[in-house]
Structure 1
Amino acid sequence: MNAPLRLILFDVDGTLVDSQGSIVSAMTAAFGALSLPVPERADILSIVGLSLPHAMARLAAEQSASVQNSLVEAYKEAYHAQRLEQGAAQSPLYPGALGVLQALHAVPENLLGVATGKSQRGLDALLEVHGLEHYFVTRQVADHHPSKPHPSMIDTARAETGVEAASTVMIGDTSFDMQMAKAAGVAGVGVSWGYHAAESLRDAALVIDSFEQLSPALNDLWN
């Protein structure tokens, strides 16, 4: 009898790659371009994981919708310029990430996917620069879904792959990721090395401190 398929979904920023420097820099450039006070670094990192319009609505709540939209476009321009200039250095992989992706991908029953607040263009560019294009069978991005923590990304990934909720896990560094997993009825694995404090990952089934702990954690969840 064949083993059941398992769907392993990854957040990107703060989970697979350390993009905080580029996010803070692009956000600083966006607010500067409109001559607005730049939010504190901690405030910027607190919105990582949300789709960009939702993130900007939080960071510039006192501004009009028109100004918020201008900030979104200014951020996109700044982030894209950084990507062209820095390449892979813009968002380096966390230690152990590549090895774990390779090991999980090598198991026939495992299907890997992405559920990210990045745009399609941003995700495609990041996967290409790190040579990760062939690892993920489903890629859910902010362009096509409500912002996290709405469960749409996970629901769509499951629909695309045909994997049951009990055989699906969401791995991420923010409370938004864990809330999304809970809303979708799947297990969430929080990672402590990202942009939200580990104690904020209250909806996680468990929290790990390094990529080396991920495979044993998944075995514990499913066995």
Structure 2
Amino acid sequence: MDAPLRLVIFDVDGTLVDSQAVIVACMKAAFSEVGLAAPERADILSGVGLSLHMLMPLLAPSASAAAHEALSTAYKSAFMAHREETGVAASSPLYPGALECLNALHNVPDVLLGVATGKSKRGLDKLLEAFDLAPKFVTQQVADFHPSKPHPAMILTALQETGVDAQHAVMVGDTSFDMDMAASAGVRSVGVTWGYHGRDRLGGATRMVDNFQALPDVLNEMWENKQ
């Protein structure tokens, strides 16, 4: 009997790429431009994964809706300027082992790869182009077309696009938003411990891994119904 089609959906920032330096720098630049005190680094990173329209009210709770919109616009501008100046690969490098893991999974005939990210489509396209990753991901879900995580829309759409059953899909991410999104969509999850939420915030994960080298074996165990 043929093996069922399987889907591994990856978060991006904090999971595949280490973008914390550019995120913090651009967020501080945005707050400076709008004339507000910048939040602490830890607070900025704790919200990575949320769409900007949800993140800004958390980082500036006393600011107006207009200020939140201005912050989002200023952040996008700062991020694009930084990316043009330094290059995508330099500003958001892949984590060690990420490329090798993606290549290994991509080479398995019954495994499909996808992305579910709070990035914009433009931002994701630039990143995938920089690392020549676009051909590896058959489904790419971005903030432009979905409610922010942890709403399950991104995963549900990925399942629909690929025809993979929820029981054969796994979400891989570094934040509680990814784990909660997976649970809401009825799929299992792997929390990676090198990202922006610590192990203590990944309690909703089905499994956890400390490096990319461990991920393929953990996925195989999960698909064999070994928790």
Task: Give the TM-score normalised by the residue count of structure 2.
Answer: 0.97
Tell me the residue number matched to 1:220: 221
Tell me the residue number matched to 2:164: 163
Supply the AA of the counterpart residue of 1:44.
I
SS, match of residue 48 in structure 2 = coil
CA distance, structure 1, for counterparts of residue 75 and residue 66 of structure 2: 14
Supply the AA of the counterpart residue of 1:186.
V
Tell me the residue number matched to 1:23: 23
Tell me the residue number matched to 1:190: 191
CA distance, structure 1, for counterparts of residue 139 and residue 107 of structure 2: 16
Tell me the residue number matched to 2:33: 33
Tell me the residue number matched to 1:6: 6
Q: Percent identity?
A: 61
- 2:86 matched to 1:86? yes
For structure 2, the 5+ residue unaligned runs are none
Deviation at 1:86, TM superposition (A): 1.1
Tell me the residue number matched to 1:108: 109
SS, match of residue 16 in structure 2 = coil
Aligned pairs (5 A) from 1:56-135? 56-87=56-87, 88-135=89-136
CA distance, structure 2, for counterparts of residue 190 and residue 148 of structure 1: 15
CA distance, structure 1, for counterparts of residue 210 and residue 51 of structure 2: 26
Tell me the residue number matched to 1:143: 144
Aligned pairs (5 A) from 1:171-210? 171-210=172-211
Deviation at 1:2, TM superposition (A): 2.1
Moved over 2 A (4+): none
Supply the AA of the counterpart residue of 1:164.
D
SS, match of residue 113 in structure 1 = strand
Supply the AA of the counterpart residue of 1:77.
S
RMSD: 0.6
CA distance, structure 1, for counterparts of residue 45 and residue 121 of structure 2: 21
Supply the AA of the counterpart residue of 1:200.
R
Deviation at 1:191, TM superposition (A): 0.2
CA distance, structure 2, for counterparts of residue 175 and residue 99 of structure 1: 25
CA distance, structure 1, for counterparts of residue 60 and residue 144 of structure 2: 21
- 2:43 matched to 1:43? yes
SS, match of residue 92 in structure 1 = coil
CA distance, structure 1, for counterparts of residue 134 and residue 140 of structure 2: 10
Tell me the residue number matched to 1:211: 212
CA distance, structure 2, for counterparts of residue 60 and residue 36 of structure 1: 8
Supply the AA of the counterpart residue of 2:72.
V
Deviation at 1:202, TM superposition (A): 1.0
Deviation at 1:108, TM superposition (A): 1.0
Task: Give the TM-score normalised by the residue count of structure 1.
Answer: 0.99
